[in-house]
Amino acid sequence: YCPYTNVTERAYPPVLITAGLTDPRVTYWEPAKWAAKLREHQMADAPILLKTNMDAGHQGEPGRYDALKETAFEYAFALKLAGLS
């Protein structure tokens, strides 16, 4: 399954795409290309956001507190969409 090749012209829901600059499995340009293609084919007003963490690898930030900050960012995105922030 390749999310990039399955992008078509349609209304996508809000999307938060995260990437790590030093990820050896999913290189940073792959999420960037996917975000660009989603934005190009988006038929709705829903946001498509890309957050590239300059210190993260495949599993995210290495430290416990840094991982919690990443989780808080994702929760903030969801809460904003739900109108609770």
Per residue of the chain (85 residues), what is the pLDDT tens digit?
789 999 999 999 999 999 888 888 888 889 999 999 999 999 999 999 999 988 766 666 666 788 888 899 999 999 999 999 7
**Residue 57: what pLDDT?**
65
**Residue 22: what pLDDT?**
83
Which amino acid, residue 70?
E
Which tokens hold the place of 78? 């969801």
- Taking the C-alpha atoms of residue 59 and residue 23, their distance in angstroms, rounded to an integer, is 8
| Inter-residue contact 21 to 28 (CB < 8 Å) | yes
Whether this prediction's pTM lies above 0.75 is answered by yes
**Residue 26: what pLDDT?**
86
Which tokens hold the place of 76? 């903030």
